[in-house]
Structure 1
């Protein structure tokens, strides 16, 4: 990308950071361009196309309107047809270029991406005139009036705060992580010392012999490591986090996370993530649950200890429990000797009673991720598919 593009649309990791560029080339990413007419979306789209020549671009040919929610669905028929083709052909980079002012349309696109296992990046040009309706009236190809643009601006200025921010695993890394979880559970299920201790701590209503894989059959669809739970802006101080410079600078950036342990409790299966100094910048200091989840006793643990990837949950257990289970195990490691210690191929497996086991890995597992947000519909049953 030329320097002239950077000056016009702003600095983005997916255009200027070499590590991110190489990661996105092997990822499966849906770019959703968002902004008022004339704000620079077309220039941004062209810059992405230059950087990723094999990418697929989908754009509406219809002029923008103030209330997209009331328009006929034919407006996006051609765009959606192109998207379906791109998903089917497994295009690594797909770009949707439109105003995307209406929540209904964004919901549709993010749902399509999740159904096809794509990471969503909602990006807007950072041009100086992006909110200046008088300037936009002279920039837009659609010859819109200042009044029409002001009407659209009301929708656009609704800042999009996701359900949560986090590092989302690339498809290949997610597959490898799931395989590691499967192997971990299989190994445990073949260990008499584990089964003897663990089975007494769980509810197993079947008449069949206890099956660890069947017990943990509730698995997340999207593997990720949450940084900040926002609940679409309802959580206190989440707006400050969402609008912070560190989030703005790192949104869409690639990170390699280090998984240093796998753990299992009667409630959850997870992977402990050890954050480096750059990753810690995205970890909120007020992260809920860093005190162990009880709100009373401060956990004397390193900053970011709750960082994890949820791999599976027991029936009726929410994924948010995984982080709390990890903190509890780490607190036990600080002040209690394990009741069982077993050396296995990948490290040392320790038990702290009550079905709490952790495998500290001799060699960390590296997973490639992109930092983004999770954008489900507010009406979707999301507790089954995400972990915080």
Structure 2
């Protein structure tokens, strides 16, 4: 357990959760440390202890479960006041210092995965997070070895310790704890794979934090500072095995409640559009469906065991550093400093094609600094050669109205405001960030990445209208239809766009998907 000051060397707070059982969800196979795992060498060897038939860790207290029906301010102390950011060195993380982020996290669900060598400061950060987020839970393999308030390590029980930590994390996630903190070393990717899978299954945003102490990689100082007397030689071996956390993607994550509400909203816009005779005929033609009920089931979402089900907008594709310009993006200070920070997103329209259904986003100036996508990328042959950009048929696909996202598990941040687009309402984005979107659903066998290409087609249609100076009321290059609270427009080629009268504002957390 990483320590960085005398305050951290207090007995760790052992927290478990109630025995509420999950219904109807597949269990995750525990990923436990072997005797050769990094965690096995994070502590000094202990005197041999005879193993018992069953592990008997000290029974921890049970915190109250989070209420899903309470007001958002019920999680805030002092009658609605947000917790104050902690003072001190090495605590400069948005989740601890940025007030808008703190407010968002209290309304959402985040798994914080600490990563660092023993003595680097992980437990100091973990304890500060727990003080801030009172309903949060710290899970650590070290807690298994607490006996009567004393730490008694037994290498023979390390497997049980990690199973104990994983089970406590799962129970906390099932109960809906707003913040779950995994206080283990996690120096290799496989060490925290279980917790990433848990975040997918139970709709949490994952956030990996590494202590920024000046001695985080100095094994000589770490040997003096860590509370378990891990010698420098063992720390040197751990440092050699240290793997950087390399994301596949950087995303703006929405919470579960907002995702569910937006999908419901998208269904409502589709219903409105299907009342327009021209749209209904076009939809019949490309979908080969004839009833409104079936048409509402046309777009599917991937909600299988390995899918991330909460809505998200892609800021950059990095593929663990292998994508074009990925290393440069990952090294940017603004990217590193923004991990775990709240960003507002603005839904300004919806795009419907035979392939995809997406929500169009307007990014603010701060979010645009994180934009790493190519707004002019040409759709490659591997998507255009197959019908509608097909991918193999798969299990776990559901319609927008049948999503497995739970209502009431988080607090909504959605609000409706006057459009900021004014005269550019019908050509709202054309420069950097014009590709930003949320994939709501896809036609059968269509990959979600196609949504961005369909949006870029819309941008090109809109700019063609602007370039030709065609008045908004003209039907030479498009047709417009009035629908409640918005306008439906087609540019031909089965491409339809909904332009709402008002913008929808939603909060997000910038983090990475691994």
TM-score by length of 2: 0.66
Among residues 361, 364, 384, which one is paired with 1:276 in the alignment?
364
What's the secondary structure of 2:118's corresponding residue? coil
Counterpart Cα distance in 2 of 1:338 and 1:20:
44
Moved more, 240-249 or 110-119: 240-249
- Which residue number in structure 1 is paired with residue 166 of structure 2? 80
Q: 1:227 offset after TM fit, Å?
A: 0.4
Query: Which 4+ runs in 1 deviate beyond 3 A?
Result: 206-210, 336-339
**Structure 1 position 207, deviation (Å):** 8.8
Whether the 8 Å contact between 1:31 and 1:121 is mirrored in structure 2 is yes
- Structure 1: unaligned runs, 5 residues or longer: 64-70, 376-388
Q: Residue in 2 aligned with 1:192?
A: 277
| 8 Å CA contact 2:358, 2:441 repeated in 1 | yes
Aligned to 1:243: 331
Question: After superposition, where does 1:112-131 map in structure 2 within 5 Å?
Answer: 112-131=198-217
- Which is helix-richer, 1 or 2? 1
SS at match of 2:191: helix
Q: Which residue of 2 aligns with 1:224?
A: 312
Secondary structure in 1 matching 2:185? coil
The Cα of 1:225 is off from its aligned counterpart by: 0.6
CA distance in 1, matches of 2:271, 2:159: 48
Partner of 1:67: none
Q: Which one of the candidate residues 37, 40, 44 is aligned to 2:121?
A: 40
Question: How far does residue 192 in structure 1 lie from its aligned partner after superposition?
Answer: 1.8
CA 1:338–1:241: 2 relative to 1, 3 Å: same
Contact 1:347–1:360, Cα closer than 8 Å, also in 2: yes
Deviation, 1:173, is: 1.3
- The residue number in structure 1 matching 2:506 is 367
**Alignment partner of 2:443 out of 314, 322, 327:** 314
Contact 2:114 2:209 in 1 (8 A): yes
Return the TM-score normalized by structure 1. Answer: 0.87
Change (3 A) 1:56 1:219: same
Count of aligned pairs: 356
Worse-matched range after superposition: 182-191 or 105-114: 182-191
Quote the residue 1:358 is aligned against.
497
2:250 corresponds to which of 143, 146, 165 = 165
> 1:179 is matched with which residue: 245, 264, 285?
264
Matches within 5 A, 1:246-265: 246-265=334-353
5+ residue gaps in structure 2? Answer: 1-84, 146-156, 304-308, 381-428, 466-475
How far the C-alpha of 1:273 sits from its partner, in A, is: 0.5
Structure 2 residue 462 is matched with structure 1 residue 333? yes
CA distance in 2, matches of 1:309, 1:338: 27
Root-mean-square deviation over aligned CA pairs: 2.1
* Larger Cα-atom Rg: 2
Which deviations, in whole Å up to 9, do the C-alpha atoms of 1:150-189 show, x marking residues without a partner? 1111232x22121100100012211121111111222233
- Preserved contact between residue 199 and residue 206 of structure 2 (Cα < 8 Å): yes
Question: 1:89 & 1:143 partners in 2: Cα distance?
Answer: 35
Structure 2 residue aligned with 1:154: 240
- Aligned position for 2:223: 137
